[in-house]
Amino acid sequence: MNTVSVTFTINGEKETRQVRTDMTLLKFIRETLLLTGTKEGCGEGECGACTVIMNGKAVHSCMVLAAEIDGADIQTVESLAGSGELDKLQLKFMEHGAVQCGFCTPGMLMTAKALLNSNPNPTKAQIKEAIAGNLCRCTGYKQIIAAIQDSSRGGRK
Amino acid sequence: MEYLKPVSRKELHLLLKKKGKNLRLLAGGTDLLVRIRHGKESPALIVDLKGIRGFDKISSNKKFISIGPCVTLQAIAEHDEIRRNFPALAEASRSVGSWQIRNRAPLAGNICNASPAADTLPVLVLYDARVKLSHSGRRRILSMKRFLTGPGKSALRPDEYLSEIRLPLPGEKRVLFEKFSRRKGLDLSTVSLAAGIFGRRNRVRLAIGACAPIVKRQTEAEDFLNEHGLQDKDLELACSLLQLSPITDLRGKAAFRRHIAARLVVATMKKLREDR
């Protein structure tokens, strides 16, 4: 099986690894780096559960080859509480009851994080557009949108 | 499966020349990786285009805006000059997939897959976009009409790649893109439509997507409207001249697609006629 060497930053740490060319970034994150916060839903870019931030942009890790991350900066849901304290987004998700079964939550959080990084004060419509590709089967969208809005610069606290 | 990422056009040309058949070019991967996962394709070699300088750039001169093969749909949706000159292309790009997909998928991929339901195609056809196909030492520039040859089929040869998309300037603001789909986010079009009024002579242009094997201009309906005008009765008559051959699939029956296409034409032309 073919492999290539990739050097990348994962949640702030620089690493070099040999990866199989047929491995997705999702599988690499979960099974090689053992960061299992990122979830596999559909595995084909429909559900958003595997969303990570790559070079500042929200992407489906199931739709990226591990071989493609050479030189890239990757952030997974584990980066949010990297300092030991929960991120404001995570606190707001808890406060608003935006987590039911929790399977979509890591992807929702990372899409929301990418949105707030590029647009600290999004409108409700912009939030909806950003998370349109993140499916929540418990359909708790209302609470999720409220939590993201509350985490923004214009949020309550 | 081998993975290579050339860093120059020259290196890419050599790969295309030498490796030939079981090679697949990778830019966004949002279609290719699904096809590999489903076992529909198993390329021996993947050539990643994202290492070549300039491939992710949008530039312009007096004659046209030039879009590189790795420019993502999200970059197009947000690009000021494109939004100013080709607003309907920004709109159509923004309607594809989800934010995550648009952050990866390039316009060039939407074109090369040549799906009859590709959302950017009706708009590109309307704006008279050209594609540059390159090959070691040779290149050719084709209209969309010559490029698109069938559902999923194009004039692109195995040793060529799409190296540039050209949008002729000046663009036109009076163009609308409409998409009818079952849900708003992350769905393919049941019917899509681009309609516009072009130039000082106010000529109507119209193209409909997901209703025929190839996305092309509706020249008979256009001629009729240009001759008769855009009164309600003209719009209804123009609908009877639409060249459609839709299929029945999970997104809608053929007859439903015809009905929706006609309603979209009427509604969109009514919005446009205020500007005529």
Query: Do A7 and A73 belong to one domain?
Result: yes
Residue with tokens 């039911």: A100
Mean pLDDT score, B67-93: 97
Contact state of A133 with B50 under an 8 Å Cβ cutoff: no
| A63 falls within a domain | yes
Q: What angle do CA A87, A88, A93 make, to 5 degrees?
A: 100
**Is B34–A24 a contact, with Cβ atoms under 8 angstroms apart?**
no
Residues A43 and A99 in one domain: no
CB neighbour burial string for A121-143, b if at least 16 within 10 angstroms, e if fewer? ebeeeebebbbbbbbbeeebbeb
Measured between beta carbons, the chain A residues lying within 8 angstroms of B1 are: 2, 21-22
The model's pLDDT over B145-156, given as tens digits with 9 standing for 90+, comes to 999 999 999 999
Closest partner residue to A44 among B2, B34, B184, by Cβ?
B34
In a domain, A85, yes or no: yes
| B148-150 vs B138-143, strand pairing mode | unpaired
Report residue B140's pLDDT band, with 50, 70 and 90 as the boundaries: very high
Task: Return d(Cα A29, Cα A24) in angstroms, integer.
Answer: 9
| A117 and A146 housed in the same domain | yes
Q: Which of residues 137-196 of B touch A (CB under 8 A)?
A: 184-186
CB contact under 8 A, B103 and A65: no
State which of A50, A80, A110 marks the end of a domain. A80
Q: Give which of A60, A134, A145 to mutate to test B binding, by max B Cβ within 10 Å.
A: A60
Residue B83 distance to chain A (closest CA, Å): 18
**B154-199 pLDDT tens trace:** 999 988 999 999 999 999 999 999 999 988 777 888 999 999 999 9
Q: Nearest CA to CA, how far is A94 from chain B (Å)? A: 24
Sequence-separated (6 or more) residues with CB below 8 Å from residue B72: B28, B56, B102, B103, B104, B105, B106, B107
Same structural domain for residues A76 and A108?
no
The answer on A89 and A75 residing in a single domain is no
How do residues A61-89 score in pLDDT, each as one tens digit? 999 999 999 999 999 999 999 889 999 99
Dihedral (CA of B49, B53, B58, B59) sign: negative
Evaluate if pTM is beyond 0.90.
yes
Determine contact, residues B27/B70, Cβ cutoff 8 Å.
Answer: yes
Which of the listed residues A28, A57, A80 is the one where a domain comes to its end?
A80
* CATH number of the domain within which A47 lies: 3.10.20.30
Q: For residue A18, is it within any domain? A: yes
pLDDT of B213-232, one tens digit each? 999 999 999 999 999 999 99
Q: Is the pLDDT score of A29 beyond 70?
A: yes
The answer on A95 and A57 residing in a single domain is no
Task: Give the pair of three-digit tokens for residue A111.
Answer: 């899409």
Average pLDDT over residues A126-153: 94
User: How far does A92 lie from chain B, in Å, by closest CA?
Assistant: 22
A132 → closest Cβ in B3, B28, B185:
B185
Between chain A and chain B, the number of residue pairs with CB atoms below 8 A apart is 83
**Half-sphere exposure (Cβ direction) of A13: Cα atoms closer than 13 Å:** 8
- In chain A, what percentage of residues exceed pLDDT 70? 98
DSSP bridge pairs for A57: A54
C-alpha torsion B82→B83→B84→B85, nearest 10: 50
Considering the domain boundaries, does residue A122 fall inside one?
yes
Q: Is A129 on the interface with B (CB under 8 A)?
A: yes
Compute the average pLDDT of residues B259-263: 95
Six-digit token string for B205: 């242009």
Q: Are residues A143 and A94 in the same domain?
A: yes
Tell me which chain A residue has its CA closest to the CA of residue B42.
A22
Assess if residue A157 is contained within a domain: no
- Residues near B235 by Cβ (< 8 Å), separated by ≥ 6? B225, B265, B266, B269, B270
Instruction: Say if A58 falls within a structural domain.
Output: yes
Higher-pLDDT residue of B275, A136: A136
Number of domains in chain A: 2
In a shared domain, residues A34 and A76? yes
Q: Are residues A7 and A70 in the same domain?
A: yes
Percent of chain A with pLDDT over 90: 94
CA distance B246 to B241: 15
State which residues form the domain around A48: 3-80
Closest to B218 in 3D by CA, of B184, B258, B163: B258
- Cβ atoms B217, B223 nearer than 8 A: no
Task: For B183-202, give one letter per residue: b (16+ CB within 10 A) or e.
Answer: eebbbbbbbbbbbbbbeeee
Beta-ladder partners of A65: A24
Q: Which of A80, A104, A137 is the last residue of a domain?
A: A80
Looking at residue B111, its pLDDT comes to: 97
Q: Is residue A54 in some structural domain?
A: yes
Residues A76 and A92 in one domain: no
Q: pLDDT band at residue B275, thresholds of 50, 70 and 90? A: low
Q: Residue A133 and residue B98: Cβ atoms within 8 Å? A: yes
Q: Are residues A104 and A74 in the same domain?
A: no
Q: Are residues A73 and A23 in the same domain?
A: yes
Q: CB B30 to CB A63 under 8 A?
A: yes
Percent of chain B with pLDDT over 70: 99
Interchain contact B45–A (C-beta under 8 A): no
Whether A57 sits inside 8 A of B103 (CB atoms) is yes
Contact between chains at B48 and A67 (C-beta distance less than 8 A):
yes
CA angle A42, A46, A50 (to 5 degrees): 60
Q: How far is CA B99 from CA A38, A115, A127, B186, B241, in A?
A: 18, 10, 11, 9, 37
Task: Flag whether A74 is in a domain.
Answer: yes
Q: What is the mean pLDDT of chain B?
A: 94
The CATH code of the domain that includes A86 is 1.10.150.120
